[in-house]
Amino acid sequence: MSRTLLIKNGIIVTLGEENRVLHGHALLIEDGLIKKIAPAQQFDENCAEVIDAEGKVVMPGFINVHMHFYSTMVRGLGKAAPAKDFQQVLENLWWRLDKKLTRDDCYYSALPPLLDAIKHGTTTLIDHHASPFAVRGSLDAIAKAVKQSGLRASLCYELSDRDGGKVAREGIDENVDFIKRCAKENDPQLKALFGLHASFTIGDDSLEAASAAGRELGAGFHVHVAEAKSDQDFNEKNFGMRVVERLHKFGVLGPKTIAAHCVHVNEDELNLLRDTGTAVAHNPQSNMNNAVGVADIVKMSRKGVLVGLGTDAMTVNMLEEVRAALWAQHLLHADPSVGFMEALGTLSFNNARIANRYWSPGVGVLKEGCAADVVLVDYFPPTPFDAGTFLGHLGFGLSQSFVDTTICGGKVLMEGKKLKLGVDEKEIAAKSLELAQKLWDRF
């Protein structure tokens, strides 16, 4: 249950449009929302349960704008044939894996990364799912895990024609039903987007049907865009246009849509993303791991494209990912002075801007009336710590520290580095291990 909490003695970092670093302040949480932030002497400690944040930075929970829970099941798998390029990565590993997933696999592959997210202070995740021979009910299975975790997540099913017309139709239906469920329930933990795999695996008929269904429901889309150059090559050869242009033609772009990756987009495509208000999810570790390149988020930002940070399931530790984003821009531009604000701003500011297109009250900011998604990170600043120096501390100090406490919607999910969920993490891992072994035997 949500408790009335008073967090005191920490350094409060609000983030948001007017980031403030507040020393000597306290934060009051009531009914799942931030009730008040003020100088500590203004609070009566008898009015709430006190959390002592001495030696800690108090800041908003982190947000991950592109995730794949189901990839948990490949951890350690060595049965996939070596891949020489991204297409072979898909064919040899991911498209073999997703065909073998059951609904139980979907549920148990989501729980471990959700628990890990809590441990790393990530309170909101935007996921993208595929299980083509267990499509129907897969999002409900993942939603069950999300509800147990206490975190927030936006879910979708990735529509694709690669497994035939029946599976594609089921993909549309799964998205439609889950979008309707979320609209009806209005559960602050669960949101929905309409999932699309990528332009190169969706024919015109399916894309038109999906676009019409999504737009009728007022939903945004979540789609992989020009992750590898092969996506562009396929689109130009088979559709006579580039990826972003094709998505625009079918009405997929817009302020509620997330275009993941965008590594291989040109000037005209960036203009389309900007003009339609489409958000980009940058996933630097995944892109480097798959050797597809590095998205130029400096250029995107200068163009006015909203760029957030995802992990593509490489991690749920957003502080690890944001550092990788910075190093990647240095390498891409061959300039160690480029990309600092653009890379660190994805996590610190832009992810909240993206998430708040779906969640209300706001997440990713400590502000009165906003959701009480709060993390406490161990940190004694060794140099001046204020709004002007915060990003430097984030990239080179806080990112090397430990999350002590994670609160989502006013519920304490971890305190003193111990989970407070009432779930048996060891039992969950054992069940996942059992299912993973069976999955590997089928692989």
| Buried b or exposed e, range 186-210, using 16+ CB within 10 angstroms | eeebbbbbbbbbbbbbbeeebbebb
- Selection from 75, 158, 156, 64 nearest residue 114 by Cα: 64
Joined together, the tokens standing for residue 159 give 């529509």
- Whether the per-residue pLDDT at 422 is higher than 90: the answer is no
- Selection from 316, 331, 431 nearest residue 375 by Cα: 316
CB 105 within 8 A of CB 134: yes
Average pLDDT over residues 335-340: 97
Structure confidence at residue 1 (pLDDT): 59
Q: How far apart are CA 369 and CA 353, in angstroms?
A: 16
Average pLDDT over residues 361-384: 97
Q: pLDDT, tens digit, for every residue of 152-192?
A: 999 999 999 999 999 999 999 999 999 999 999 999 999 99
Structure confidence at residue 46 (pLDDT): 86
Q: pLDDT, tens digit, for every residue of 91-113?
A: 999 999 999 999 999 999 999 99
CA angle, corner 64, sides to 405 and 226, nearest 5? 165
As to burial, measured by CB atoms within 10 angstroms (0-12 exposed, 13-18 middle, 19+ buried), residue 276 is middle
- Whether the per-residue pLDDT at 402 is higher than 80: the answer is yes
Name 269's Cβ contacts closer than 8 Å, sequence gap at least 6: 226, 242, 243, 244, 245, 262
Average pLDDT over residues 307-324: 98
Structure confidence at residue 158 (pLDDT): 98
- Selection from 403, 397, 400 nearest residue 416 by Cα: 403
- Whether the per-residue pLDDT at 423 is higher than 90: the answer is no
Average pLDDT over residues 32-59: 95
Q: Identify the structural domains of the chain with CATH numbers, from first to last.
A: 5-60+362-419 (2.30.40.10), 62-355 (3.20.20.140)
Q: pLDDT, tens digit, for every residue of 205-255?
A: 999 999 999 999 999 999 999 999 999 999 999 999 999 999 999 999 999
Structure confidence at residue 118 (pLDDT): 98
* Tokens 């009806």 belong to residue: 184
- Whether the per-residue pLDDT at 2 is higher than 70: the answer is no
Average pLDDT over residues 271-293: 98
Q: Per DSSP, which regions of 133-236 are E strands?
A: 152-155, 190-192, 194-198, 221-225
- Whether the per-residue pLDDT at 23 is higher than 90: the answer is yes
Average pLDDT over residues 269-287: 98
